[in-house]
Structure 1
Amino acid sequence: MFKIYLNKRILFGFLVTLIILIGLGLYSYWNTKKFVSTTQWVIHTHEVLFVSERILTLAENIEVGQRGYSLTGRTEFLEAYNKGKEEIEKQVSHLQQLTSDNASQQQRIGSLQNDVRHLLSFASEVIEVRDRSFEEALKLNASFRGKQILDSIRKGVAQIQGEENRLLKARTLNNHDQIEKFNISFESLLIIIALVLLSLFYAINANIKSRIRTEEELRKASHEINDLYDNVPCGYHSINVDGVFVNINNTLLKWLGFNSKEEVIGKLNFRDVLTKESVNEFNKLFPAYIEKGYLHDIEFTLKRKDDTLLPVISSSLAIYDQQGNFVKSRSSTFDNTERKIAETKIKNLNNELEAFTYSVSHDLRAPLRSIDGYARILHEDYHNKLDAEGVRVIQVIINNAKRMGQLIDDLLDFSRVGRKEIALAYIDMTVLVKSIVKDLLEQEKRDNVEVILNPLISSNVDVDMIRQVWINLVANALKYTSKTEKARIEISSTDQKDGVCYKISDNGVGFDMQYVDKLFGVFQRLHRMQDFAGTGVGLAIVKRIVTRHKGRIWAEGKLNEGATFYFIIPHDEGK
């Protein structure tokens, strides 16, 4: 029978050592379980990011599909819409389940869910209206409700992803900390084991078994992470400070036409897979990206191994070390081919529209000039041979020909505003509006109108376009105060959070607020032609110009008590 011969002091030391050893073993086991749990949370966070990105892609497909269908009437645009409609609410529900333990995310997802429902409702409404009337569908799209809903969805997704990225960073740091603690505890364990190797043989064996199980769990977790990274339906890659690939997933690898990661990682620069134009864009953006740490929705054109091209949209977050030095990027890439095809189709439609306006400008003017000319000949040469009714009818023809010519001019102006490139310049708005008011008052030759022009805040705008805005608004105020005994017009501005708000108010005939939605529509008039002349296009041009400046316009009024028009020009981000 084996006996242990140790004095009490040695036995006590052995017991203390054994207790420390057991304590370290338990600590290692607990730390390992925590590490595995944290790794699973990292996987969970990546899944939330992927699902949220998928929701945004589906929302954009729905918006593009309904816009394409409403503009062209072609049913192929409904494929993306129907596919997105079938899947997006399922993805939102899935996202809600994934974040059921996070109250703040649940609140954000609730808002996102409402936005998705609004988007589906709006898209369905536009498609239904388009089946009845192209013009009504065009008006719905021109209201920018779809864009506003989509922007709200983008904002909601960005907030959700921002929270998940914050959690991902915290969990990754926690992971590293656990690994470091594990290493320290394991080293301590080895030292103690070396001192009591024979007496603690069974304890060492148990610890080794535990470590093997832990490593197997880690290998499985690592495999799951790598599988998720490699096979998601979007490209992922990382590049170092020189732009050289340090990682790439299988999806992007296949898009580029390569067979193995070894052909790319450490050998190719990101610039090598870009077209010349995209290289120039990348060279401009990369230094700023390293500085601020992120880029969102940047369009590049990738050059595949066989020299074919692939348009993509890329977003990226920068990874830094503890000293704040850039280590690598974490970039996601999405195929932009369908969007580019849609843009090409829209461009072709714009070309068709331009051809139509050319036809309006030339083909319609010729018969109109003939009608006007022959009517004037009748009026001048046969005036004495016609009775009063005949003279009146001829004058009606002349007046309507003149009005038709004005309608054609206004339609052409409305069309040009939509196609003209914006050339922004920082201008003194007070000087511009003062000259416009002076010219219009000289044309009006009225002495019963008082125009109060307060100092206006300057803005970064297209000078010609914004001049047309002010001409139309001031002329509008003068026209609708023409029957007011003592007319008063006031122009002012205020600096607000979302931009500079300009305001022009008058004490003219005003309008009924229940018809305010018609105010900025083409050919929409709230007053009779006999009372106030006009074609009903001027305010539509104003709205289009303000919208092209990414601003907004609205009006308030009351019958016989005047009207006030407001429009906001966003702040210049570069200033």
Structure 2
Amino acid sequence: MMRRKYPFGTYPGSVLVHNEHRFRSTLLNKLIVGRDYMLLANKSFTDTEASKQTLPKEIPISIKDEGLVHTLPGIYYVISTDGKLLDWNKKLEEVSGYSSEEISTLLFSDLFEDRYQPSIDSHITNVITEGAAEMRLPLLGKNNEGRQCLFSSKEIIIDGQACIKGLALHIPDQKRSKDARLLDKYKQMNAELKGRVKEQTSQLEKANKEIASFSYSVSHDLRAPLRAILGYSTLLLDDHADNLNGEGVEFLEILKNESERLGELIDGLLFFSRMNRKEKELITCSMKEVIEMALKEIEPVHNSENYTLNIGDMPEIKMDPKLIKQVWISLIENAIIYKKADEKVAIDIQAEARGDKMVFSISDTGMGFDERYYKKIFGVFERLHHTSGIQGIGLGLALVQRIVVRHNGTVWVDSETGTGSTFYFSLPKKIV
């Protein structure tokens, strides 16, 4: 039986044909290039007879066959190892927009942006050393428009010289369009998220201002009736104590003491509200001078025999000195108030540069506390020690944290019960 011979060429759904065999394929996916041949290889066969055949790894096809070269699905190119274009097909002219005459004056690297030169050099080196290589780069046309391509290259020998032959297949715009749509969607979602965050932040700031204003108003309005309660209870004790039995006098004393305590709480809340509402006035000044200003307010209130104080070298830094002075007043008073009974507390103040921040610390040898209560101590009106005779309303450390945060800093503490505490706060070297 005579076999039908097929002419040398290409067929729909087929690989390139050699001699008598026609291989039909459902998937053309690989370019095989050699010294004197080029073919597309397939993964699967649908023709039963063809599937019994062995697909040749190399099919000799002359690279000079103009008709074949120009029917290839991608850009065919032959270049020298120094990047000169030796041969190409019409697909390169179509994609790049350059004429054949213009291409003849170009180097292979002229078809790409300058920033891809290292990638091109690496690709050529890999082809020479490994025999074959691939790269993905946008091919730059005459109109400076990039077209993403997959370059598959292999080493060949022409007239005794090593050269590179390959095919560049365009990566479909569909994928890039999908990526662009995803990027646009991401940008839109990001913009919407930023808008919502900005709106919610604005609402939160407004709510905080309203709460602060409400707290200030309520605290201020409570002072008048409280003064009346305190005044009349004092008059009763001073002028009419003889008309009361012992229990009545005791009740009046409790009423007076609790009224005084409530007055302190209201004064503290008013002070806290004023500090939150006060605008920062940033200037560069010496931290040591600010600490000394704080000590002038502390010394008349606290007996200097109850503590010793050491101040290390302090830097000049940009801050609101009035607000930071209140930080030092609260921290130093906290160390003095929570000293061990019948013992003089040693207080040490230091400063240390850490990156773009200055970290200030104040250590004491006082009572200390269990670090389980770390978060609690910075709350408003929070006190860990309710021992009789210890002053304070539990507002100082909350004030410290609020002021430091307003300076874009942070506050933290190390403490151990019975050993003492070290409070730290950081301030940026440059406050915006």
TM range (shorter): 0.5 to 0.7
Q: Which residue of 1 aligns with 2:357?
A: 499
Which SS does the other structure have where 2:231 is aligned? helix
Q: 1:335 to 1:542 in 2, by over 3 A?
A: closer
Which SS does the other structure have where 2:305 is aligned? coil
Q: Which of 488, 491, 503 in structure 1 is aligned with 2:346?
A: 488
Q: 1:173 to 1:495 in 2, by over 3 A?
A: same
Q: Which residue of 1 aligns with 2:384?
A: 526
Which SS does the other structure have where 1:357 is aligned? helix
Q: Which residue of 2 aligns with 1:204?
A: none
**Deviation of residue 336 (structure 1)?**
4.1
- Partner Cα separation in structure 1 for residue 258 and residue 369 of structure 2: 26
**Deviation of residue 389 (structure 1)?**
3.3
Query: Cα deviation per residue 1:180-208 (whole Å; 9 max; x = unaligned)?
Result: 799xxxxxxxxxxxxxxxxxxxxxxxx9x
Do 1:449 and 1:488's aligned partners in 2 also have CA atoms closer than 8 Å?
Answer: yes
Which SS does the other structure have where 2:430 is aligned? coil
Q: Which residue of 2 aligns with 1:430?
A: 288
Q: Are 2:409 and 1:458 equivalent residues in the alignment?
A: no
Do 2:318 and 2:431's aligned partners in 1 also have CA atoms closer than 8 Å?
Answer: no
Q: Which residue of 2 aligns with 1:445?
A: 303
Q: 1:354 to 1:518 in 2, by over 3 A?
A: closer
Q: Are 2:196 and 1:338 equivalent residues in the alignment?
A: yes
Do 2:216 and 2:269's aligned partners in 1 also have CA atoms closer than 8 Å?
Answer: no
Q: 1:231 to 1:390 in 2, by over 3 A?
A: same
**Deviation of residue 470 (structure 1)?**
0.6
Do 2:309 and 2:346's aligned partners in 1 also have CA atoms closer than 8 Å?
Answer: yes
Letter in 1 for 2:409: G
Q: 1:31 to 1:414 in 2, by over 3 A?
A: farther
Do 1:484 and 1:508's aligned partners in 2 also have CA atoms closer than 8 Å?
Answer: no
Q: Are 2:260 and 1:402 equivalent residues in the alignment?
A: yes
Do 1:372 and 1:402's aligned partners in 2 also have CA atoms closer than 8 Å?
Answer: yes
**Deviation of residue 382 (structure 1)?**
0.7
- Partner Cα separation in structure 2 for residue 552 and residue 225 of structure 1: 46
Q: 1:226 to 1:447 in 2, by over 3 A?
A: same
Query: Cα deviation per residue 1:136-191 (whole Å; 9 max; x = unaligned)?
Result: xxxxxxxxxxxxxxxxxxxxxxxxxxxxxxxx997698589874799xxxxxxxxx
Q: Which of 364, 368, 375 in structure 2 is aligned with 1:517?
A: 375
Q: Which residue of 1 aligns with 2:58?
A: none
Q: 1:30 to 1:528 in 2, by over 3 A?
A: farther
- Partner Cα separation in structure 2 for residue 449 and residue 403 of structure 1: 26
Letter in 2 for 1:533: Q
**Deviation of residue 228 (structure 1)?**
4.1
- TM-score, normalised to structure 2's length? 0.59
**Deviation of residue 403 (structure 1)?**
1.0
Do 2:413 and 2:424's aligned partners in 1 also have CA atoms closer than 8 Å?
Answer: yes
1:176-191 to 2 correspondences below 5 Å: 179=139
Q: Which residue of 2 aligns with 1:377?
A: 235
Letter in 2 for 1:480: Y
Q: 1:361 to 1:458 in 2, by over 3 A?
A: same
Do 1:234 and 1:334's aligned partners in 2 also have CA atoms closer than 8 Å?
Answer: no
Q: Which of 380, 399, 405 in structure 2 is aligned with 1:547?
A: 405
- Partner Cα separation in structure 2 for residue 364 and residue 171 of structure 1: 74
Which SS does the other structure have where 1:421 is aligned? coil
- Partner Cα separation in structure 2 for residue 559 and residue 225 of structure 1: 63
Which SS does the other structure have where 1:447 is aligned? helix
Aligned residues: 300
**Deviation of residue 29 (structure 1)?**
12
Q: 1:403 to 1:181 in 2, by over 3 A?
A: same
Identity of aligned residues (%): 31
- Partner Cα separation in structure 2 for residue 228 and residue 170 of structure 1: 23
**Deviation of residue 380 (structure 1)?**
1.6
Which SS does the other structure have where 2:283 is aligned? strand
Q: 1:171 to 1:512 in 2, by over 3 A?
A: same
Which one has the largest radius of gyration?
2
Relative to its length, the structure with more strand (as a share) is: 2
Q: Are 2:208 and 1:350 equivalent residues in the alignment?
A: yes
Q: Are 2:429 and 1:571 equivalent residues in the alignment?
A: yes
Letter in 1 for 2:200: A
**Deviation of residue 497 (structure 1)?**
2.0
- TM-score, normalised to structure 1's length? 0.45
- Partner Cα separation in structure 2 for residue 573 and residue 169 of structure 1: 42
Q: Are 2:308 and 1:412 equivalent residues in the alignment?
A: no
**Deviation of residue 435 (structure 1)?**
2.4
Unaligned runs of 5+ in 1: 1-16, 36-167, 183-206, 237-250, 252-311, 314-332
Q: Which residue of 1 aligns with 2:250?
A: 392
Letter in 1 for 2:254: V
Letter in 2 for 1:446: S
- Partner Cα separation in structure 2 for residue 549 and residue 347 of structure 1: 17
Q: 1:498 to 1:381 in 2, by over 3 A?
A: same
Do 2:216 and 2:273's aligned partners in 1 also have CA atoms closer than 8 Å?
Answer: no
Q: 1:396 to 1:515 in 2, by over 3 A?
A: same
Relative to its length, the structure with more helix (as a share) is: 1
